[in-house]
Amino acid sequence: MTDLNAIRDFALELAREAGETIVRARAQGVRTEYKAHLELVTDADVAVDNLIHGRIREAWPEHAILSEEAAPEQQVDVMRQGPLWVVDPIDGTVNFAHNQPQVAVSIAFMLDGEAQVGVVHAPFQNETFVAVKGQGATLNGQPIQVSGETDFRQALIATGFPYDKAPVPGLIKRLARVLGECRDVRRIGSAALDICWVAMGRLDAYYESVSPWDFAAARLIASEAGARCGHVYGVEGGVPEALYGRDIIISSPALYDHLRALVEEADLTALHID
């Protein structure tokens, strides 16, 4: 039997250590590069990933790790059974490089494709979101809940955009449709924080297509805080829902169906007009 509370304590301590490294790295000056000529990456992304990777290997040598910088080739592991760590060392790299505070370390622990523990730590804001499956979610130790908003016109909705610009026209159609019906839209720049902010009620709902490490931990946190989590078009290829990042929706429950319908309608319009 895996002791999930021990895993949570380990992940929490690790996320804080990673957070201190991130804060120090920014104080020393950020050096940026591009992955595949597209995605921004800094020396801190790699250093923090190596730190987290090393600590997990030391403590749990038999566990698999899917982390953005150190082992993205292990993407195949999204299908695996058994223990799997899913890690984004810095979620919000563009914010990190531009001296903005919305930056997070995201660490999820999964068993047989289901998230068991999630930690999202925002070191510049001193906010740490934690969940253990079945035990609820907390922010800095205090229980959190979704907003419970029921009126879409009063909802504050978040989304994001990929580094690859090809899908942008379709995403703008979605944005126009959603923005036309809600109070306003935010693009915070960290999917993990977007989702944790839904979990604690600063935002009412979120939609985007992301990678497993962007949302695995935050999705558990949101679900434990009462959010409804799903996909606009369901899940393909037998990938566990908790790791399938295409067209995810995470929402205060009463807003979910309407948000899903708006995104789908926007996609249909895009198909007809283009």
Q: Smallest Cα–Cα separation from 170: which of 255, 178, 121, 7?
A: 178
Q: Burial-class residue 140 by CB neighbours within 10 Å (0-12, 13-18, 19+).
A: exposed
Nearer to Ca ion, 137 or 218 (CB): 218
Between 119 and 148, how does the x/- string for binding to ligand IPD read (CB under 6 A)?
------------------------------
Which among ligand IPD, Ca ion, none contacts residue 210 (Cβ within 5 to 8 A by kind)? ligand IPD
Size of the site for ligand IPD (CB under 6 A): 14
Residues 182-241 that bind Ca ion (CB under 5 A): 214
Distance CA 193, CA 191 (A): 5
Judge whether 247 and 114 are in contact, CB under 8 Å.
no
Strand 205-208 relative to strand 83-91, pairing:
unpaired
Smallest distance from the beta carbon of 62 to ligand IPD, in angstroms?
A: 27
Rounded to the nearest 10 degrees, what angle do helices 43-59 and 4-28 cross at?
150
Q: Name the residue type at position 255.
A: L
Nearer to Ca ion, 46 or 270 (CB): 46
Smallest distance from the beta carbon of 190 to ligand IPD, in angstroms?
A: 5
| Cα-based distances in Å from 73 to 64, 65, 161 | 12, 10, 23
Of the candidate residues 49, 91, 208, 224, the single one contacting Ca ion (CB under 5 A): 91
Of the candidate residues 91, 204, 224, 247, the single one contacting ligand IPD (CB under 6 A): 91
- Contact between 88 and ligand IPD per CB under 6 A: yes
For 89, the 3-state DSSP assignment is strand
Segment contacting ligand IPD by CB under 6 A, of 157-165, 178-186, 227-235, 249-257: 157-165
Smallest distance from the beta carbon of 138 to Ca ion, in angstroms?
A: 22
- Contact between 214 and ligand IPD per CB under 6 A: yes
Judge whether 214 and 245 are in contact, CB under 8 Å.
yes
Binding-site ranges for ligand IPD (CB under 6 A)? 88, 90-93, 160-162, 189-191, 208, 210, 214
